[in-house]
Amino acid sequence: MDSALAPSLRLQAKACLALGSPLHAGVLDLAADDLEAGGPTARLLAPWTGQDLRALMAAAVPLRLLGALHDLVLSGEDPALADAYPQPGKAFDAGSAWRQARRAMAQHGDRLAAFMDHEPQTNEVRRSAALLGGFLTVARETGLPLRCFEIAASAGLNLSWDRYRYDLSGSAWGPDSPVLLPSDWSGALPPLDAQVRVVHRQACDRRPVDLKDPVQRRRLVAYVWPDQFDRLERIRAAIDVALANDVNVEAADAVDWTARSARPSPGAATVIYHSVFWQYMPAVSQAALRQAIEYLGASATNDAPLAWLRMEPPPENTAIMEVRLTIWPGGEERILAVVHAHGASARWTG
C-alpha cells in the first residue's frame, strides 16, 4: 500500500467537508480505509502508486475518483449506486453510498479507470460572480467596450459571464437569465453602474469540452458534487446558454494562444482572464505565460488597454482565493477581492 494515496484521499475529504459536500467527505474517508485494507480502491488508484502527496493533489487524483463514480451515477448504468446517491427531497447517508460505490468499483473497474485516466475538467459557473467585479472595474476605468479572452476555459461557461444574472447580497446586476449566480458579498460593491458591452469573446483550453457531445457534457456535470443541487442546476442552465449562443473553445496551448490571439486592439479594452488554473501549471509554463501577457501589456495604450484578471490562490497561501487585476498602460497589480473557491462568497477590497 502506497503511503501517500490514503492521506491524499483524507486531505481532499477535509476540503470537501469545508466546501459543503458531506457525501464526498464521507466517501473519501471510507475509500482511504478501503485503500489501506487492499480493497478495490487500491486497484483503481494503482496507476498513481509511488507519487508524493503534492503530486497526487496536483493531479487531483481524489477528484478523479469522485468524478468517475458520479459519472457512473449520471449514466444510469448502475441503478443501485444511483439510488444510494443524493436526490432532492431524499435523505442520504455517506456510508450507504460508499457501500454501493465499493461494489461498483469492483464491478465497473475498467469503466471507472478509463474515466480517471483523463485529468479533471471543471467549469464552476459561479466563479463568474467572483470575476464580475474585475470586468466592471475594467469597463469603468477604461470607458471602453470589452474584448474577452479566457484561458483554460474548459467548456467555456464563464465566457458567457455577461449573460448571467447576479445577486450580490441583494444588489443585482445582469440581464434576465436562466442562470442566477448568488454570492454572499461583503465590503463595498464593485461599480455595478458601469457601462458594459462585450464586443468579442474567445477562449482556449488544452483539452476543451465539446458540449454538443452528450458524453463530454455528462463528464463535465459529473465533477459537480452530487449533494450540491444548486450547483448542478446552475451548470445545466449554463450549458443551455452556451449551446444557445454557440460558444466555442479552441484546443490550444495557453501561452501560444495568448501571445497570438489577445493582442491589444484600438477602441476596446482587451481582458485576459482565468480562474483556478494557474496552480496546475508547471513553474516554467507560469513564467512563460506571465512573460507573454506582460509583453502584450507593454504594447497597450490608453485607446487599446490590456487587462489581466484572475481568480487564483496566492503562491504563499493556497488555502485562499484572490481576485487580482492588472491594467496596462501602467501595469499596477491590485487585489480586488478574497473569494470562495466556488464563488459562493466574496470580500471586496478593490
For the chain, the structural domain boundaries read 5-116, 127-348
Beta-carbon contacts of 336 under 8 Å, excluding residues fewer than 6 positions away, are 133, 134, 137, 190, 322, 323, 324, 325, 348, 349, 350
Q: What is the DSSP string of 107-132?
A: HSHHHHHHHHTSPP----TTHHHHHH
Calculated CA dihedral for residues 29, 31, 37, 39, nearest 10 degrees: 170
DSSP designation for 304: S
- Grid cell at residue 349: 477590497
Which pLDDT score is estimated for 47? 95
The dihedral built from the CA positions of residue 142, 148, 152 and 154, taken in this order, carries a sign that is: positive
Element counts in the chain: helices (H) and strands (E) = 13, 11
Which pLDDT score is estimated for 332? 95
Helices (H), ranges, the chain:
5-18, 22-36, 40-44, 53-58, 61-75, 79-84, 94-107, 109-116, 127-142, 214-222, 229-244, 254-261, 283-298
Which pLDDT score is estimated for 2? 58
Closest C-alpha among 65, 72, 11 to residue 39: 65
**The amino acid at 53:** L
pLDDT tens digits, the chain, 350 residues: what are they?
557 999 999 999 999 999 899 999 999 999 999 999 999 999 999 999 999 999 999 899 999 999 999 999 999 999 999 999 999 988 889 999 999 999 999 999 999 999 999 888 889 999 999 999 999 999 999 999 999 999 999 999 999 999 999 999 999 999 999 999 999 999 999 999 999 999 999 999 999 999 999 999 999 999 999 999 999 999 999 999 999 999 999 999 999 999 999 999 999 999 999 999 998 888 999 999 999 999 999 999 999 999 999 999 998 777 789 999 999 999 999 999 999 988 999 999 98
Q: What is the pTM of this model?
A: 0.91
**Taking the CA atoms of the chain, what radius of gyration do you get in angstroms?**
21
Could you tell me the strand order of the sheet in which 198-205 lies? Answer: 171-173, 165-168, 180-187, 345-348, 332-339, 321-328, 306-312, 269-275, 146-150, 198-205, 250-251
